[in-house]
Structure formats: C-alpha cells, structure tokens
A and B are shown apart, each in its own frame.
Chain A
Amino acid sequence: MSTMQITCKNAALGYETGVVVKDLNFIISEGDYLCILGENGSGKSTLIKALLGLKPQLSGEIIFSEAIGKNEIGYLPQQTIVQRDFPASVQEIVQSGCMNRCGLRPFYNKQEKQLASDMMKKLEITHLARRCYRELSGGQQQRVLLARALCAARKMLLLDEPVTGLDPKAANEMYELIARLNREDKITIIMVSHDMNAAVKYASHILHIGGRQLFFGEKEAYLQSKVGKAFLEVSDMGGDEP
C-alpha cells in the first residue's frame, strides 16, 4: 500500500453564491496517475483551485499529507494571452519555478540555479536555455512550463489541459513525457482533461465529476461503469470538445 498524499472527504466546493461541485470522496496516493474528467462547468477549475490551496472547501475535508505541503504541488496552468508574446528566455522562466524556495531573498542561490538546469536537462530543453520563449513551438513551450513546475515541487504535478493547442504529434510527445515522469521518477500526476482517449491510455485512476462526483476509482473499473461507458461513447463519436 503506497502512502496517501491527498485525501478528500465529503468535500463540497464553490462560492458564497452556491455549490459548484459536491460529494467529493477520493484518495490520491504516491505514484498515482489520476485523470480528472468532466465537461465545462462541471467544477474542474474549482477543484484545481482547492487542490492548490487557493480556495478553501465549503464543507468536508481535504487533507494534505505531511510530505505534500499546501504549496508543494507543481502546477502547469493553461497558457495565457500574456505569455504568447512575452520576452523572456527559457532559463528565466524555469528559474522562476524556484521562487517559493526564496522567501524574501531577492536573488536565486546556487542550488536553485542548479535545480533549474537539472530540470531543463531532464526535459531535454537545455539547448533552448537562451532562446526566447515566444519563438518556441507549442510543445517546447509546454516543456518549459513543465520544467518550471518541477522546480517548484518534485512529488506531485497538477496539469490543467496540458495538450491544448498542440498538434497531435506534440500532444503525443507531451503525454509520453508525463507518463515517463510518473513511471521513472514516481511523480504523482493529476491531470485535468477533456481527452478521454489519453485518460484511458495513461491514467491509473479516474475521477469523473459533473456538479458532484460521478465516479472515482481505478481505470479498469471506470471502463466497466455506466458513466464511463456513456462518456466513452460520446468521445468516440467526436462529440467531445476540441
């Protein structure tokens, strides 16, 4: 039995004006690859905020284990418009992942710079270190942001739609890279996605939400479940969002 990292008990999330998603009961253990599925408006982004510790739950409990502090989840957010024409080198961006280690110290120390270059090596972007972020391809940009996330935390990664806007080949490479991090470095992965096919191929666990928890469990069980079969059919028909 591997160690539990996040335990969610009867949690309800939302705003003062109303509950967005409720009845959340799930456990994330070390080395899991959890895929969170759900349509737009199902409460995925609210759940992300809660997992990142940016938004307290309305009721119930979300317990982080000792090993995973509240701010120690590496986060790969969706790209913003600001970033598309941002003049910054790959190195500057990857190093900014070390920010939470600095506290009030104004500059990065040697270990932090070393960590940043180690992570660039791991993701095979060392040769891009001096390149400008806005000139990279979509897949390379995602690698840069992934390296930054790894600088912030090396035990757990939370990926928000990591292949949005990538062409199929780059998307595939990104998925393989994430799977490798999960397999070889034992990094726990939480991936929010529309992409049913990728979820089925890579994930070990599935959490399906839609206003409330519709399913949580291992992938094999999900494929046999009613909600899983229904969702799979829709995706196969190409009815899923782009």
Chain B
Amino acid sequence: MTEIWQTLVTYLQFPFVQYALIVGLLVALCSSLLGVTLVLKRFSFIGDGLSHVAFGAMAVAGLLGVSNDMTVVLPVTVLSAVLLLRTGQNTKIKGDAAIAMISVGALAIGYLLMNLFPKSSNITTDVCTTLFGSYSILTLTLSDVILCGVMALIVITVFLLFYHKIFAITFDENFANATGVKANVYNLLIAVITAMIIVLAMNFVGSLLISALIIFPALSAMRVFKTFRSVIICSAVISVFCSAFGILFSIVIDTPVGPTIVAADILIFFIFSLISFFTGRSTKA
C-alpha cells in the first residue's frame, strides 16, 4: 500500500501528470453539469452522435493538413449540435434517427478518409487512440491545458449565469415559451456548449466513451437525490471523483485512461442504484 502511495507521489511531481489531472478534472466537471440537462431532455445520445462527428472532422482535418485540429473540429461539431438539437422536434427525420444517421455516417467517412490518406503507417493505433483516448492525455502540452482551461471556464460561467433558465426549459419548454422565455435561444446555447465539451473531452477519453462521461454521473445522482440543484452538485462531485481516481489508477497500474474512468463511473452507478433501492424500500415500508 505504501509502495503504491510512493509511486503516486513520485508521479504527481511530473508536469504531464499534473496537466492530465487538471484537464481531466475540468472536462469531468463540465460534462457532468450539462449531463443532467441532456439526460432529462432525452438527449443522452447526442454526446455519442456528436463525438462521432468530431471523429469524422478530425479525419478531415488530418486530410487537409491543418496544423491545429481544433480549428476544424470545433466549428463542425458545434454546427452539428445546433442542427441536431434544433431539428429535434418536428422534421421529416426524427431526432433519434437523425443522430444515428449523422453519427454512423461521420464515423464511416472518417475511417474511410483515414485509410485512404494515412497520416502514419499504423492506422489501427491512430484510430484506436481517437476512439478510446488511450494515452493521449499523458502527452498534453501547456498550451493544451490553457485552451482546455479557457473552454471550461466559458462552459462553467454560461452554466452558472443561465442555471435557472436551463432548469426552466429543461423542465417545461412549453411553459417557458408561453411566459416569454426564449427557449430556442437557450436550446441553442445548450447545443453549443455541449459541442464544446465533447471536443474538449475527445482527447481525454476518446470519441466512443464521451457519452459515458456525460450520462453516468447524472444518472447516478438522479438515483439518490431529489432536487435539481442537489442532482447537479452530486453529479459534478461524482464525475470529478471518478476522473481523478481513473487517472491516478491508470498511471499507477498502467491501464488506458478513458476506460478506467468509465469503469469507475459504472461502479458508482451501481453503488447509487443500491442505495436508492434500499432507501426507497425503507421509506415505503
């Protein structure tokens, strides 16, 4: 036990571990804040869809030889988010079908492009890294950390400023509209910051696992807590805790970062489900 502790302390002195922790915790915090709203609005899959779009955009960015992937990935993902959330209600192609279509399409085209115009000799590793994050979080530079910090700050500020509005339109969009709250504007806002979070989280846990980061803390918190505010706070705490645990665990035991964090999230979900099961029974009895 002391041995593990020793290793941990040694690792924590390396800047790349510190960077990973800072970025990881910020991403976890942001995704959990939005997660509650997305789950309640029945948009759980949007994380999945958008991350696939981001994957496709990344492949295109590689193809174009853009020096910084972000300049392509962020606008494309934001645009897709706006389209998906806006057209959710009444279009010819229904919300879930639209998400499925766009996400699978982007994934296929992305992989196709990567194969046609390979950046490196080892495509399988490239793809695997993009999809599952693997160790890329441990190769972050200081500028990555600053970029992430700025984006996280924007997301958190927007969320705090519009907390009550986000609550109102999540709970009852019709009522909000009827009383003169511009629900569409706020839906757009939610779409944009969701896309930002996904681009942020992509380097961290990888395309395929982002949804887990968004939905698991929210679902766990909703098992036990009963007011909107406590659910949000609890989900943020769970998310940050699981990420910290996941990162440290993966450094010490040498496992891939993304899946380790998600595994921790799943574990917490089961624990909270059990708590809810037992407390639910005792109040009924």
Contact = CB atoms under 8 A, between A and B. Distances in A.
Given A89-B226, A106-B162, A82 B167 contact: no
B117 interface: no
Contact of A87 (B163, B165, B174, B227): B227
A75 B222 contact: no
B164 A89 contact: no
Given A92-B227, A92-B229, A97-B179, A77 B171 contact: no
Chain B contact residues, majority secondary structure = helix
Contacts of A158: 178
A100 B183 CA distance: 12
B174 A93 contact: no
A149 B181 CA distance: 14
A86 B227 CA distance: 9
A86 B132 CA distance: 32
A193 to B, nearest CB: 18
A54 to B, nearest CB: 6
Contacts of A70: 180
Given A77-B178, A88-B228, A97-B179, A102 B171 contact: no
Contact of A108 (B164, B170, B179): B164
B70 interface: no
A42 to B, nearest CB: 20
A87 B160 CA distance: 19
B231 interface: yes
Nearest to A81: B42
A132 B160 contact: no
Contact of B179 (A80, A85, A88, A100): A100
B226 A87 contact: yes
B116 interface: no
Interface string A129-143: 011101100000000
A93 B168 CA distance: 8
Contacts of A171: none
Contact of A152 (B40, B171, B179): B179
Contacts of A89: 226-228
Contacts of A106: 160-164
Contacts of B177: 52, 54
14 contacts: A71-B180, A77-B172, A77-B178, A83-B171, A88-B171, A92-B229, A96-B164, A96-B171, A97-B179, A99-B165, A100-B180, A106-B161, A152-B178, A158-B178
Given A83-B172, A92-B228, 5 more contacts: A71-B179, A75-B174, A89-B227, A96-B168, A131-B226
